[in-house]
Amino acid sequence: MGTALVVASRNRHKVEELRQLLAGLPVEVRSLADYPEAPEVVEDGDTFAENAVKKARAAVAFTGEWALADDSGLEVDALGGEPGVRSARFAGEPRDDARNNAKLLALLAAVPPERRTARFRCVVALAGPGGELEVVEGAVEGRIVEELRGTGGFGYDPLFLLPDLGRTMAELTPEEKNLLSHRGRAMAALATQLRKRFSR
């Protein structure tokens, strides 16, 4: 059994994605679902990094274990970088992927394909009980299509086209997504530090 590593999220899609990305490392992956008493963290930071660090440190404080948190979202150039840090709650509370996607499509209705450029950005924070902190970032460039495509993934994946592949994130296999996604790239950047810390 490896070192306990708490993924500071209750989003089962995100936890499963991170669990796959952590496969092969000597860590026992848990999530906040394993700690039902853990308090909700208000994600009120102005940047993905602020939110990721806040969530990771809160999970460490509650569990006493190493914790990993990410904050990620969609930045659409024609919308001035929106929804950005508000991606999960773009259409308001409670958070709802279908309503978020519908709002995005409505806002981009008059925007031509060549101006629908966007990126997924992810910041991952790893925090330790001794005050340790590592922060890494990953991003992937794409374009917003005009209708939902694909049944995989979650969030804005069915609208986010990877132009080189001609497929949306929701049309990728889980293995392809883990390799190409913003979260996959951030986790790849963090993998070296994780191996150094947890392979001892």
Which of the residues are catalytic?
Answer: 71
- State the DSSP string of 46-108: SSHHHHHHHHHHHHHHHHSSEEEEEEEEEEEGGGTT-BGGGGGGTT-SSP-HHHHHHHHHHHT
Between CA 94 and CA 89 the distance in angstroms is 7
Between CA 29 and CA 135 the distance in angstroms is 19
Q: Which helix (H) or strand (E) is 198 found in, with range?
A: helix 182-198
Gyration radius of the chain over CA positions = 17
Asked if residues 145 and 121 have their Cβ atoms less than 8 Å apart, the reply is: no
196 by Cβ neighbours in 10 Å (0-12 / 13-18 / 19+) ranks as exposed
